[in-house]
Amino acid sequence: MSGSAPRSRSRVLALGVALAFVAVGGQLVRLALQNEGASTIRVSMMSTPSSTLARPDIVDRNGRLLATDVQMPSLYADPHLIQDADEAAERLGRMFSGLDVRALRSSLADKTKRFVWIRRGLTPAMAQRVHNLGIPGVLFVDEIRRTYPAGRLGGHILGRVDIDNRGTSGIERHIDEVGASEAAHGARLSARAPVRLSLDLSVMHALDDELKSAMERYDAPGAAGLVMDVRTGEIVAAVSRPGADPAMAEEVLDPERIDKVAAGTFELGSIVKLVTVALALETGKTLDSLVDTSEPLKAGRFTIEDLHPLGRPMSVAEVFVHSSNVGAGQLALSAGAEAQQAFFEKLGLWSPLKTEVSAGPEPLKPAQVGRIEQITLAFGHGLAVTPLQFAAASAALMNGGTAVTPTFLVRDEDAAGARVVSARTSALLREVMRRNVTDPSGTGRRADVAGFEVGGKTGTAEMAVRGGYRKKSVIASFMGTFPASDPRFVTLIMLFEPRGQESTGGEITAGRNAAPTTARVIERIAPLLGVAAKAS
């Protein structure tokens, strides 16, 4: 009996403990059910009310980083936990410039709210400063923010994102349009493969540096340039100055910082004579065909003259090399208005050019093409297109005669487009482009670079303003190609409103500024692009 009593007491004790656990468990379940709503509030309070996107990295053609997502702290408040709304608003107002203290005070005082944004995307240093304030109810949550390691370099092409990391322009918008971004869960970064652009960051840097130097050298407030592969249509470099940092909305939206390469339309002047000569060759002329340039060309009340008239007939090649407006006008009249307009359309110069970066602006063109319009179109006045459009047309004229579709994405093979001119015409155009650089009287002679067979055409167009043109304010352009005997690339360099310098003899024409700038650019970028110099 003595042994059975302790065992009985042990069983009673164990049963008591078990019942106690059951009671505690039941109480916990009851409390959980009673506080289900409060738990939900706490969870929602810690969740951002926005729908943020996780984005893939953007890299150049060689894998160098151009854009990436990073985790950054954002600052919010739970008014339910704020002890003194006035004091909290005042202290935060001293911390952040531009903060609407009155509106914040009102929000913090509203105890029905559980989430109020204060400032999103803080730097670690700023987050630490706010943390040190020790304001109850002021809290942090990690979010995704887009950063651009190259700053303004490539900014126009990359575009920008909004506060929720959604693309609003450029390649960033394209990423969303093709479904390459995804909803972010918390601050999780994207695991998708990077978006690889056709741009070469080294070539971009060299082009940007030379444009910056040219602006200083020729006292020009703006400049733009691009480099395009004539076979694939890939844009290897595109720079517009002044640039825009994608991380700074005020710069991206500043009209003074518009992307001059793909978003601005301009009358390009005499570089359009490349198109006019191409049309002449396609309609039966040869480089040796004579054109009557002995007298100015009249159209109604207008008289077209050459800057340096020879006073005699010129060959088609001489019209190009001497950049004769009279000769170009005669060639256009000979081809006819219908053929001229059809040729512009065939080359993609009569309608907007769509790329991954933008839909492209509508070209500014005459409502009807009469005699005077035929003449002025022939030398680049009366038609305003984007520089990218004209570069694409020139690439087709240089590559053997097939159209290319410009792209800012890597394209691993040649773009086999429709034929726009014959292989013969393309070969003759390459010849005359080269002659314009090597001929002592050629307008492009200052673009020559030993060993690289540069070809090209100058263009000096008066700046168009409402109701006419601004005298002595020009866009100086040089359309280049290299190596001219078998082109791999076209370049287009533009200087906006350059001023005459002692080094240019006071002149502002493209042959004195855009042409030598092209020479400096090609000399720097050719080795980067794998184009070796030939022994002279």
Which sequence positions are flagged as catalytic? 270
How far is Cα 73 from Cα 51, in angstroms, rounded to an integer?
A: 16
- 3-class state of residue 394 by DSSP: helix
Query: In the numeric block, which tokens belong to residue 343?
Result: 């040729």
Q: How many distinct helices (H) and strands (E) make up the chain?
A: 17, 20
Q: Give the rounded distance of the alpha carbon of 448 from its chain centre.
A: 29
- Residue type at 392 in one-letter notation: A
Q: What contacts 457, CB < 8 A, 6 or more positions away?
A: 270, 271, 273, 274, 320, 323, 433, 436, 443, 444, 478, 479
To the nearest 10°, report the CA torsion of 521, 523, 529, 532: 160
Q: Give the rounded distance of the alpha carbon of 102 from its chain centre.
A: 39
Query: In the numeric block, which tokens belong to residue 259?
Result: 């992307």
Burial class from Cβ neighbours inside 10 Å (0-12, 13-18, 19+) for residue 20 reads exposed
Contact 227, 207 (CB under 8 A): yes
Contact 127, 140 (CB under 8 A): yes
Query: In the numeric block, which tokens belong to residue 341?
Result: 């307009």
Bridge-partner residues for 337, per DSSP? Answer: none
**C-beta contacts of 530-536 below 8 A and 24+ residues apart:** 531/452, 531/482, 531/483, 531/488, 531/489, 533/450, 533/451, 533/452, 534/451, 534/452, 534/453, 534/483, 535/451, 536/450, 536/451
Cβ neighbour number for residue 306 with a 10 Å cutoff? 20
In this structure, the chain runs to a length of 536
Q: Give the rounded distance of the alpha carbon of 288 from its chain centre.
A: 41
- Residue type at 135 in one-letter notation: I
Q: How far apart are the first and last CA of the chain?
A: 121
